Amino acid sequence: MLRRALPVLLLLLALVPPALAKRDPLASQIEIILAQPDAERGFWGIEVVSLKDGRTLYALNSAKLFTPASNTKLFTTATALALIGPDYRFKTTVETAGAVDKYGRLVGDVVLVGRGDPNLSGRVLPYAGHTQRTQPAIRVLEQLADQLVQKGVKFIDGDIVADDSYYAFERYGEGWTQDDLVWESGAPVSALSINDNVMFVNILPADRPGEKAFVSLDPFADYYRLDNRILTTPSGTGPRKIFINREPGSNVLTLWGNIPVDDPGAGEALAIDDPAAFAGQIFQRLLEQRGIAVYGRSRTRHTELASLQTLSVTALASGGGEHGMPSRQPLVLASYQSSPLIDDLQVINKVSQNLHAELMLRLLGREKGTSGTIEGGLEVERGFLTQAGIPPDQYVFYDGSGMSRENLATPHAVVQLLRYAAAQPWGKTWYDTLAIAGVDGSLANRFKGTSAEGRVRAKTGALGHINALSGYATTVNGVPIAFSILTNNHKLASKSALDVVDQIMLAIVNDQPKRN
């Protein structure tokens, strides 16, 4: 715990040579913190700037480039709030080029059209201290299916088409690793995203040792084929050890390991492979459960990145409309409108939701750039960052979430973004999306009982051997600051790395300089 580490830190500070302390108390404290074993072997970058007068209170390697991990989300969400606005709403529809006759027969395909809504799930919005789901994961799809019933649809003589062509079919960012793709943090990106593009696997021990554990999937139990090799062991045989693997592109989940017979059970959120296909299959199932006969099959409609330009030219030449539909307006059978964009920006920054950040990046490209692609969004973002006074040699991004190990940014670039945002009309709104130290989000369990609790609003970040914390704070003597703490290439254990970062943050918050 951080509080147990503080006495050691205070003892170290008491041993600071007077000459070093006289030079700059904050610099001296940070030097001591970074001289701890293993911490000194990492690469650290820090910048602290007073928002009152713009003075740099501390800087270490602030012009060097670091992999910022989820601090990348600061750039994505600031750009989205500034250019798209807090009140933007996503729309999901069910459309057809056919018509419904008096007998309830619909001749033609039924198209489920996604337009990038990140919250087609049971998530409660707006965010209130923690993210929670109180409704079924497929609640929105159920509502859309109910609307078809209300429209009198009884027979569909056509396919169920899950259409995510609003954004290009770029499921993963450059620099993501294969290990990412199994888990919720690496869920694939789609303009038609249901339940954060994950399904939940629940694992319970069998009644007797030696039998296979009970494994279930929700919300669509037969989307993946299970290869369950988890064995139930006798009571008291130690903690459970469970391993899960899915090869890229495969629909087979392999699970192995062991779980004691008295274990309460375990759960994981696992990424699905093709979100649109997942949504289409669920939607067809929901229609059939409501008594609507579907004579076709479920299929997808993607916009392949390589053919994006060709498709656009073809659509213009042929007079075709959006999603390749005929130029006349399709019949809208059902629709759903999201909550305001600002609600999702809170989710992204408070709990560091990767998929949602990626969807925001593509939204920027679709609404303000050339296309709903990664590069389209990044092009818009680069223009915004130039306006914010951040030179292009201070960063390079390959995604919107920070999952890419190829992203780079300097601490100075992060602080400059923070300073720019603080001076904008939307700055306070963006500030409120950040996690509060010791209170909520990814900082809920950090800084509790310390002088930083409630004083720090920040975005966390973590990848292997990488940690980050950047945002705003008010020091104990009332100075509002913007700060960025980035570290790469350390070999600290996860908890130890957070302790070092938090010690630096406490030194910054507790700094009481006598400055002219």
Q: What is the pLDDT along the chain (516 residues), one digit of tens a residue?
A: 455 555 544 444 444 444 444 568 999 999 999 999 889 999 999 999 999 999 999 999 999 999 999 999 999 999 999 999 999 999 999 999 999 999 999 999 999 999 999 999 988 898 888 777 778 889 999 999 999 999 999 999 999 999 999 999 999 999 998 888 889 999 999 999 999 999 999 999 999 999 999 999 988 888 889 999 999 999 988 899 999 988 887 889 999 999 999 999 999 999 999 999 999 999 999 999 999 999 999 999 999 887 665 544 444 344 444 444 445 789 999 999 999 999 999 999 999 999 999 999 999 999 999 999 999 999 999 999 999 999 999 999 999 999 999 999 999 999 999 999 999 999 999 999 999 999 999 999 999 999 999 999 999 999 999 999 999 999 999 999 999 999 999 999 999 999 999 999 999 999 876 544
Could you tell me where the DSSP H helices lie in 411-456?
A: 411-422, 427-431
Assess whether 38 and 100 both reside in one domain: no
Instruction: Judge whether 211 and 239 are in contact, CB under 8 Å.
Output: no
Assess whether 408 and 424 both reside in one domain: yes
Report the pLDDT value the prediction gives residue 219, as an integer from 0 to 100.
87
Assess whether 221 and 358 both reside in one domain: no
Assess whether 282 and 161 both reside in one domain: yes
Report the pLDDT value the prediction gives residue 490, as an integer from 0 to 100.
96
Radius of gyration of the chain (CA): 26
Assess whether 247 and 326 both reside in one domain: no
Q: What is the Cα–Cα distance from 275 to 270, expressed in whole angstroms?
A: 12
State how far the alpha carbon of 351 is from the alpha carbons of 128, 347, 355, 378, in Å.
12, 6, 12, 22
Report the pLDDT value the prediction gives residue 305, as an integer from 0 to 100.
80
Residues 6+ apart with CB under 8 A from 53: none
Burial of 234 from C-beta contacts in 10 A (0-12 / 13-18 / 19+): exposed
Give the domain-ending residue among 271, 296, 325.
271
Question: Which domain CATH number covers 464?
Answer: 3.40.710.10
pLDDT in tens, 313-335: 444 344 444 444 445 789 999 99
**How many residues does the structure list for the chain?**
516
This prediction has a pTM of 0.90
Number of domains in the chain: 3
Report the pLDDT value the prediction gives residue 322, as an integer from 0 to 100.
45
Instruction: Judge whether 294 and 280 are in contact, CB under 8 Å.
Output: no
Residues 6+ apart with CB under 8 A from 400: 72, 73, 76, 173, 357, 358, 360, 361, 362, 374, 377
Residues 6+ apart with CB under 8 A from 11: none
Assess whether 405 and 434 both reside in one domain: yes
Q: What is the Cα–Cα distance from 112 to 8, expressed in whole angstroms?
A: 59
Q: What is the Cα–Cα distance from 144 to 124, expressed in whole angstroms?
A: 18
Q: What would the two tokens of residue 481 be? A: 């600051």
**Residue 516, in any domain of the structure:** no
Assess whether 406 and 392 both reside in one domain: yes
Residue 59, classed as helix, strand or coil, is strand
Q: Strands of 414-496 (E only): list them.
A: 435-436, 456-463, 466-474, 480-488
Q: What is the Cα–Cα distance from 171 to 207, expressed in whole angstroms?
A: 40
Report the pLDDT value the prediction gives residue 138, as an integer from 0 to 100.
92
**Domain range spanning residue 249?**
178-271
Task: Report CA torsion sign: 19, 25, 30, 33.
Answer: positive
pLDDT in tens, 137-178: 899 999 999 999 999 999 999 999 999 999 999 999 999 988
Report the pLDDT value the prediction gives residue 514, as an integer from 0 to 100.
52
Assess whether 449 and 395 both reside in one domain: yes
**Residue 369, in any domain of the structure:** yes
Report the pLDDT value the prediction gives residue 309, as an integer from 0 to 100.
58
Question: Which domain CATH number covers 306?
Answer: 3.50.80.20
Residue located via tokens 């409120």 = 432
